[in-house]
Amino acid sequence: MTPEDRAAIGARRPPWRTGRRSTVRRLPERAAYDRETVEAILDEGFVCHVAFSTEEGPVVLPTAYARVGEVLYLHGAAANHALRTIGGGIPICLAVTLVDGLVLARSAFHHSVNYRSVVVYGHAEEVRDPVEKRAALDAVVDQIVPGRVADARGPSDSELRATRVVRVTIDEASAKCRAGGPKDDAEDVEQGGIWAGHLPLTVVPGTPVPDDPRGERLAVPGYVVRTQRPGR
Amino acid sequence: MTPEDRAAIGARRPPWRTGRRSTVRRLPERAAYDRETVEAILDEGFVCHVAFSTEEGPVVLPTAYARVGEVLYLHGAAANHALRTIGGGIPICLAVTLVDGLVLARSAFHHSVNYRSVVVYGHAEEVRDPVEKRAALDAVVDQIVPGRVADARGPSDSELRATRVVRVTIDEASAKCRAGGPKDDAEDVEQGGIWAGHLPLTVVPGTPVPDDPRGERLAVPGYVVRTQRPGR
């Protein structure tokens, strides 16, 4: 799927809004509502945590996702209980969190984590149109490893039937980010004697492990070699 | 806080159970319910996604946590709306997810992510006892960087008042894990021609960045140098 295809699918949906729920109340200086910041975080991640309410209480589950323009797609087995539940159009909330580092202040109180996160309030709807369904599944594969979908064998009709896809309309979205070193009290800095600073954390890909029972020894594709997270 | 202290605090709480909600229905072969697996995942992570229901719908937020024996602690500013809400004892659901790699199958259908995750169903209660509150905050610092709490300046009385801590009782918990390479259909393996395999992902600490406005040039503590995630 080309970027134009992704944008075209997304263009069907209304734009994002920010409301009372998505307005960051704690440490509002860490909040961001602009599309660029929100989309950059959604595009760098590939696992979200999606929450929905049931009669027995709230449920939150990790799952892969793809952003295509204005919407997010989630997928799973056709019998997947959570997807079936949220596909019915109930309100959902979804978070994507990228952890960038650990912040060690002089005081325990000012310890923190550097992160970039997006919280989305929205609602989901099952995708039944096979064209949109295939495009969404392509997008999920490409969200995980950009470029992969061109090489992989696409879904057969029975695989497509065995898969449930839901389209998440973003009703509200906001980002919250923290970066940099500790913000200690002046007295603690004056006092001195305690090492303080921050430790960047990066997700680093290891050596690709081929699955090659027939001894084909195919070359590792460039998009696998280049896969870097975050900031791929 | 010593491991014995952590265990002693935890021992006040009832043991975990597994119920209908926490029984993994999709791909049950990936599920684990034993304490060792669940606790190892909870101990390796330090950011969870906690979900709760409101009149307006579900909410999920990323936050730091600590496991102390049988319970989890969350903390935030005293005015923190989410913590105040869940501290009232409503049901919550919380997930900790460690992403271990990307799985590239020959078919788009069998693409996957290697991960270890725990989903906890529980309820929270505000911690008002200052001894437990201090111990919980110590545990949160040590969950992020084990060993750090011994060096950091502990919370003053006013910092303690400015902080809200909730204790999460784990009513049900389960783990779900995937590891290893793709599970392609035999026909796709026979067909050949498409590189398949998996790419391990590791969280790697970078160079510590000191916060040293006074030019003290203190040595980087060993627990910072040694911090490795996952599998620290």
Chain A residues within 8 A of B211 when measuring between CB atoms: 105, 181-182, 184, 196-198
Over pLDDT 70: what percentage of chain B?
90
Confidence of residue B5 (pLDDT cuts 50, 70, 90): low
Chain B: closest CA distance from residue A4 (Å): 21
Give kind and range of the element (H or E) at residue A209: strand A209-210
Which of A164, A72, A92 shows the shortest CA–CA distance to A126? A164
Q: What is the mean pLDDT of chain A?
A: 90
Which of B216, B122, B126 shows the shortest CA–CA distance to A192? B216
Q: pLDDT at position A10, please?
A: 44
Spatial contact of A152 and A1, defined as CB atoms under 8 Å apart: no
- CA distance linking residue B228 with residue B98, whole number of Å: 13
- CA distance linking residue B96 with residue A171, whole number of Å: 26
- CA distance linking residue A192 with residue A196, whole number of Å: 9
Are the Cβ atoms of B60 and A50 closer than 8 angstroms? yes
**What's the start-to-end Cα distance of chain A, in Å?**
19
Read off the pLDDT of residues A173-218 as tens digits, 9 standing for 90 and up: 999 999 999 999 999 999 999 999 999 999 999 999 999 999 999 9
Nearest CB neighbour to B60, from listed A49, A111, A229: A49
Query: Which whole-number Å values give the CA distances from B54 to A28, A71, A120, A167, in the listed order?
Result: 21, 24, 15, 23
Q: Does the beta carbon of B169 lie under 8 angstroms from any beta carbon of chain A?
A: no
Q: Does the beta carbon of B159 lie under 8 angstroms from any beta carbon of chain A?
A: yes
Query: Which whole-number Å values give the CA distances from B155 to A192, A218, B131, B159, in the listed order?
Result: 16, 57, 12, 6
- Nearest-5° angle of CA A191, CA A195, CA A199? 140
Are the Cβ atoms of B227 and A102 closer than 8 angstroms? yes
Q: pLDDT at position B27, please?
A: 77
Are the Cβ atoms of A57 and B93 closer than 8 angstroms? yes
Q: Is the peptide bond before B58 cis (omega within 30 degrees of 0)?
A: no
Are the Cβ atoms of B199 and A206 closer than 8 angstroms? yes
Secondary structure (DSSP) of chain B: --HHHHHHHHTTSPPPB--TTTS--SSGGGEE--HHHHHHHHHH--EEEEEEEETTEEEEEEEEEEEETTEEEEEEETT-HHHHHHTTT-EEEEEEEEEEEEEE-SBGGG-EEEEEEEEEEEEEEE---HHHHHHHHHHHHHHHSTTGGGTSBPPPHHHHHTEEEEEEEEEEEEEEEE-SS----HHHHHH--S--EEEEEEEEE---EE--TT---PPPPHHHHT--SS--
Q: Does the beta carbon of B161 lie under 8 angstroms from any beta carbon of chain A?
A: no
- CA distance linking residue A178 with residue A99, whole number of Å: 10
Chain A residues within 8 A of B52 when measuring between CB atoms: 58
Q: Does the beta carbon of A200 lie under 8 angstroms from any beta carbon of chain B?
A: yes
Contacts across the A-B interface (CB distance below 8 Å): 291
* Identity of the highest mean pLDDT range in A120-124, B17-21, B226-230: A120-124
Query: Which is more confident, A5 or B114?
Result: B114
Q: Which domains does chain B have, with CATH numbers?
A: 3-225 (2.30.110.10)
Read off the pLDDT of residues A20-78 as tens digits, 9 standing for 90 and up: 777 777 777 888 888 899 999 999 999 999 999 999 999 999 999 999 999 999 999 99
Mean pLDDT is lowest, of A154-168, A214-228, B174-188, for A214-228
Six-digit token string for A213: 């029972």
Which of A188, A110, A179 shows the shortest CA–CA distance to B148? A110
Are the Cβ atoms of B211 and A197 closer than 8 angstroms? yes
- CA distance linking residue B180 with residue B189, whole number of Å: 16
Q: pLDDT at position B10, please?
A: 44
Are the Cβ atoms of B57 and A211 closer than 8 angstroms? no
Chain B: closest CA distance from residue A72 (Å): 16
Beta strands in A78-158 (DSSP E): 91-104, 112-126
Mutate to test the interface with B, among A74, A114, A172, A199 (most CBs of B within 10 A): A199
Are the Cβ atoms of A56 and B21 closer than 8 angstroms? yes
Q: Which residues of B126-153 are buried (b: 16+ CB within 10 A; e: fewer)?
A: ebeeeebbbbbbbbbbbbbbeebbebbb
Q: Say which DSSP state A199 is in.
A: E
Chain B residues within 8 A of A224 when measuring between CB atoms: 104, 195, 197, 199
CB atoms within 10 A of CB A11: 11
Q: pLDDT at position A27, please?
A: 77
- Residue A129 backbone phi and psi in degrees, to 5: -65, 120
ipTM of the complex: 0.90
| Three-class SS state of A62 | strand
Burial of A212 (0-12, 13-18, 19+ CB in 10 A): middle
- CA distance linking residue B184 with residue A167, whole number of Å: 27
- CA distance linking residue B201 with residue B193, whole number of Å: 25
Spatial contact of B212 and A197, defined as CB atoms under 8 Å apart: yes
Q: Say which DSSP state A194 is in.
A: S
Are the Cβ atoms of A199 and B154 closer than 8 angstroms? no
| Torsion angle of the four alpha carbons A120, A122, A126, A131, in this order, in degrees rounded to the nearest 10 | -60
Read off the pLDDT of residues B129-173 as tens digits, 9 standing for 90 and up: 999 999 999 999 999 999 999 999 999 999 999 999 999 999 999
Are the Cβ atoms of B201 and A198 closer than 8 angstroms? no
Are the Cβ atoms of A97 and B64 closer than 8 angstroms? no
